[in-house]
Structure 1
């Protein structure tokens, strides 16, 4: 979406700068570099915000369907019409520690995200239109799991 907005801004500025006299006026030549500089600055600003916020905002789409709390964190399950998504979130973010999250649709293979994370494992998403799913998450050796849910 960001790229579409930036492209629209640049296109509008180019059209406005060249409209009327085919771009041969001094005003059009002066406006175009200014607009390009402003859109570049805006892109860098928003790109920086998006880059830092991407890790923090990597949550699942859909509505919250189930939250399961266990000793070192919680397991969150989200559902859209045709997809289910899960993530394991640490109760106390901080040092890197082993985390994993797994979601499996009934009759399908599990999708797993495992590694050393500071805040969360996941999100992992599966196609679950008219299917139950089973979810489990582990943080620092403590596990939380559901049976078949979202049936």
Structure 2
């Protein structure tokens, strides 16, 4: 985090001189100490965050893939006259440990076209699906396992 503060200082100044780097190190160190003492920041959080980067990238990659697949499915409904849309509400429970896991799952559902999270009550999710085919396997999807790894 200290390195980020220093780099941010240099970017905001627009030049690299000895005085700017020296002042940036001193000011960044003071901000870092303030953050550690009064804002509850710790180096352990940085280490935990760095360890989760591969899992978060896996989450984002899977999210993009699912958005593309769901977009294709929704477009099939829009441009085809033979498919009849059958909306459905789905209720399921997933045992997430943290609110971040619940938010990630709710956002995953809402960001994929054809589904929207209607309600989250603890670990109980209510999802509106554009078609009943979109609801199949929603409570056992790969994203649930990925989010549980993020929560660890």
Say yes or no: TM over 0.5. no
Structure number with higher relative contact order (C-alpha < 8 Å, ≥ 6 residues apart):
2
Question: TM-score, normalization: structure 1?
Answer: 0.29
Larger helix percent: 2
Q: Which has the larger radius of gyration?
A: 1
Give me the TM-score of the superposition, normalised by structure 2: 0.29
